[in-house]
Amino acid sequence: MSDENEPVKTICPYCGVGCGLKLSPGEEEGDVRLKPWFDAPVNEGALCIKGGASTEVVNHDERLKEPLIKEDGEFREATWEEAYDLIVSELERIREEYGPDAMGFFGSSKTMNEENYLIQKLARRYGTNNVDNCTRMCHASTVWALRTSLGMGAMTNSMQDLEDEADVYWIQGANPGEQHPIANSQYFKQAVLEGATVIQVDPHANKTTRSFDIHDEDNRHMHLQLEPGTDVPLLNAVIKTVLGNDWHDEEFIEERTEGFEHLRETLEDFDKERAAEQCGVPLEDIEKAAEKYAKANNAAIFTGMGMSQHRCGVDNVQNEINLSLITGNIGRPGTGVNPLRGQNNVQGTCDVGAMPNVLPGYQLVDDDEARERVDPGAVHHGGEPPDERTGRQRGQATLRGGTGLPGGPGHLHDRDREARRRDPAGDLVGRAGRHGHQHGPPGPADARRRRRAGQHPPRPGHPL
């Protein structure tokens, strides 16, 4: 048996980079000490300020340690047995009185794969597909576009091969200098020091811009500072520039893609000059960026929530995929389309099926064979997942009038005012399990894994 004082290896609970760290007991009871994990595969011991402060919540004065039940408008401490009895009785009552779809289940991108797998399984055994997680408000559009076009809603490449092999980094809608500082310092900046070029597409000049000295006069790097909401017309202009100059990879397109002619026809009457005006970016700069990307030996796209958190989020990401496909920049080291995840297990939470429209491994809920594979003999035979509007209404009803569910952050929040019960949650030192960080999911991919350029073609007249 290992010494109880021996440091335990774990993963930072903040962003999706997946940095490793070590934890060990402190001198005082309840204290936790953080130590570098120098051979951690992602960060090699380096941590950002958030990772360095991750243990401060473990023994915080406001940390919940017992379940709370609300009576007469006030919370009181309760036993776990009492809390579980209330959970079961309310679940049964709601299903009997209103049916299973009156209940909503929420996974968490801060918890482990195993826990999220169980909550989606609980929801479906209960009889509903009303299970979701925070990706609905961040990367759901990215997951959908990547899955339908490439077979898996995750990074196509590892950070290591992107650092080693990519010649051009196209970073759109992401700010790794601030949001993913270890990825930025350990991978992006190292690659730039070794000669890689950065093309940043973002309405703001930010820490990422400064970290690569993008506005220096050597013209090596570029910042396309577009108007907010104009990502689709900008990428349309880039793609049309690539096609017009024969910079596309005809052999790759013929052998590996579908729908290319549809894509070409869609852009036939597209006006690049008007698009440049809409974007607020000189057409010359757009064409120069297109040339840098298309002529690179290996070019990689990085996409963030600045692309996905739009009503046209799927279109945004699909256009990035189309750009990578027509230039053959996918399927080998240093290429691909790579979402930078916001939370430590948003990838794994989706991989294990904590979403209303898919089962574990991104198998569709209305696929009878998939349901039988995932959960043989389950009483729930699926059903239509809630549409965006209906799901939003139901979610509000659940938050305002529901009973609350176990888990959640380890401290009381404003939203707890509406709950009848609040149970304390574990943290990075309180449970064991696995994460699926942004470098790639552990779950199975869609067996078809077809790469389809133009399956969801851009709309030239896309409203801004």
pLDDT band with cut points at 50, 70 and 90 for residue 431: low
pLDDT at 155 over 70: yes
pLDDT higher than 50, residue 385:
no
For residue 290, give Cα distances in angstroms to 201, 215, 316, 377, 436. Answer: 12, 18, 16, 52, 33
Residue 439 makes CB contacts below 8 A (sequence gap 6+) with 18, 42, 155, 158, 159
Q: What is the mean pLDDT of residues 294-320?
A: 92
What pLDDT digit, counting tens, does each position of 88-123 carry? 999 999 999 999 999 999 998 888 899 999 999 999
Fold category of 140-339 in CATH: Dimethylsulfoxide Reductase; domain 2 (3.40.228)
The pLDDT of residue 112 is: 87
Does pTM surpass 0.85?
no
Question: Mean pLDDT across the stretch 299-320?
Answer: 90
Degrees (nearest 5) of the Cα angle 106, 107, 112? 165
Name the pairing type of β-strands 363-364 and 358-359. antiparallel
Residues of the chain with CATH 3.40.228.10: 140-339
Q: Calculate the alpha carbon distances from 220 to 39, 53, 89, 228, 232 in Å.
A: 33, 36, 64, 24, 24
Rg (CA), the chain: 24
CA atoms within 13 A of residue 164's CA, in its CB half-sphere: 7
The least confident of 94-108, 299-313, 401-415 is 401-415
190-239 confidence digits (pLDDT tens) = 999 999 999 999 999 999 998 888 776 667 999 999 999 999 999 999 99
- Confidence check: pLDDT of 277 > 90: yes
pLDDT at 27: 78
| CATH entry, 8-57, from 2.20.25, 3.30.1380, 2.60.40, 1.10.8 | 2.20.25
On the question of pLDDT at 17 being above 80, the answer is: yes
Task: Kindly tell me if the per-residue pLDDT of 459 is higher than 50.
Answer: no
Please tell me the predicted confidence (pLDDT) of residue 461.
34
Q: Which residue has the higher pLDDT, 167 or 139?
A: 167
pLDDT at 336: 96
Checking if the pLDDT of 337 tops 70, the result is: yes
Neighbours of 21 (CB within 10 A): 24
Residue with tokens 């070019």: 299
Q: Measure the CA dihedral 428/434/436/442, to 10°.
A: 180
- pLDDT of 33 > 90? The answer is no
Given this model, what pLDDT does residue 147 score? 85
- Judge whether residue 464 has pLDDT over 70: no
Residue 303: the pLDDT is 92
In the chain, ranges of CATH 2.20.25 domains: 8-57
Hey, CA dihedral for 250, 255, 256, 258, is it positive or negative?
positive
In this structure, whether the domain defined by 68-137+362-422 belongs to CATH 3.40.50.740 is answered with: yes
Tell me which range, 147-151, 259-263, 458-462, is most confidently predicted by mean pLDDT. Answer: 259-263
pLDDT per residue over 118-152, tens digit each? 999 999 999 999 999 887 777 778 888 888 899 88
Q: Say yes or no to pLDDT of 241 above 90.
A: yes
Looking at residue 411, its pLDDT comes to 52
> Where is average pLDDT lowest: 18-32, 40-54, 93-107, 145-159?
18-32
Span 196-206, pLDDT tens digits: 999 999 999 99
- How much is the average pLDDT of 405-425? 54
Contact 174, 303 (CB under 8 A): yes
Lowest pLDDT segment from 172-181, 272-281, 328-337: 172-181
What pLDDT was estimated at residue 28?
A: 75
Once rounded to an integer, what is the mean pLDDT over residues 345-364?
Answer: 88
Amino acid identity at 156: T
